[in-house]
Amino acid sequence: MMATEWQCMHCRCIWVGKQPPRCCPDCESTDAWQKIGCTDVRECTTCGYLFVLEGQQPPSRCPGCETVGDWERVDYVLVQVPTRLGG
Ligand SMILES: [Zn+2]
Ligand SMILES: [Zn+2]
């Protein structure tokens, strides 16, 4: 199943899930979410490493702990977009 990707129009952080939270966890804006796409996120059941799928399969080996094939789908994840440097 695919999750929807939302972006806060104020701080540009990205939320992945069926629905975005009421308030942006980063800048606390409300109603600032814009749907930008769909994605599928898996979490390593061993170390919690989050892997955002973009139409491909999750890696056979977790990049975090090197466990083989132990991915679990997660409902949402907040992806912080790095603040622009030097601005
Ligand atoms: Zn925000
Ligand atoms: Zn892992």
For residue range 16-75, what is the model confidence (pLDDT) as tens digits? 888 888 999 889 998 889 888 777 778 899 998 888 777 778 889 999 999 997 898 876
Q: For residues 22-43, b (16+ Cβ closer than 10 Å) or e, as one string?
A: eebebeeeeebbeeeeebbbbb
Q: Which domain holds residue 44?
A: 3-79
Tell me how far apart the alpha carbons of residues 22 and 81 are, in angstroms, rounded to a whole number. Answer: 19
Q: How far is the CA of 66 from the centre of ligand 2 (A)?
A: 6
Structural domains counted in the chain:
1
**Are the CB atoms for 81 and 26 separated by under 8 Å?**
no
Query: How far is ligand 2, taken at its centre, from the CA of residue 48, in Å?
Result: 6
13/65: higher pLDDT: 65
85 domain-assigned:
no
**Whether the Cβ atoms of residue 52 and residue 36 lie closer than 8 Å to each other:** no
Answer whether residue 64 is part of any domain: yes
Question: What's the pTM?
Answer: 0.52
Radius of gyration over alpha carbons of the chain, in Å?
14
Flag whether 19 is in a domain: yes
Q: Is 42 left (phi over 0), alpha (psi -120 to 50) or beta?
A: beta
* Nearest ligand by distance to the CA of 43: 2
pLDDT attached to residue 46: 93
Counting DSSP H helices and E strands in the chain, the numbers are 0, 6
**44 lies in some domain:** yes
Residue 57 resides in a domain: yes
Is residue 84 in some structural domain?
no
